[in-house]
Amino acid sequence: MPRFLTLVRIEEKHSAADMTPEAGARMGALFEEITKAGVMLDTAGLTPSAEGTRVTRSGGEFSYTDGPFTETKEVVGGYAILQVKDKAEAMEWTKRFLACHPDDWTVTSEVRQIDEG
């Protein structure tokens, strides 16, 4: 079965600590369901961009930019690796994950199949 990586993009001003108890309960229930279904292989949130560094290679030279990345409104806030029958199933789980977040948040997930090549 194929594996998919979902990169969760979120406005950095929001964090798990900002979630309502209801949203946290919805997410906990979904994580329990997706784990029992054998779909979730791994997931985690990421530390704030202020603790990260971007490494760029351009023209054969490396440059490093320490966070926070002020030019970016949204950052990758977490990821999940899902093993499902097809992209449609990965999209459905991702949709359900996004629906757990508070309605006033903007959350985006990029869903990409892992190249097992």
Total domains present in the chain:
1
Q: For residues 10 and 75, what is the distance between their CA atoms, to the nearest angstrom? A: 6
Identify which of 14-28, 43-57, 68-82 has the greatest average pLDDT: 43-57
Token pair 């961009």 is at which residue?
49
pLDDT digits (tens, 9 = 90+) for 69-114: 776 677 888 999 999 999 999 999 999 999 998 888 889 999 999 9
Task: Kindly report the pTM of this predicted structure.
Answer: 0.85
CATH of the domain at 10: 3.30.70.1060
Give kind and range of the element (H or E) at residue 99: helix 87-99
CA angle 46, 53, 11 (to 5 degrees): 45
Domain span at 86: 3-113
DSSP β-bridge partners for residue 81: 5, 42
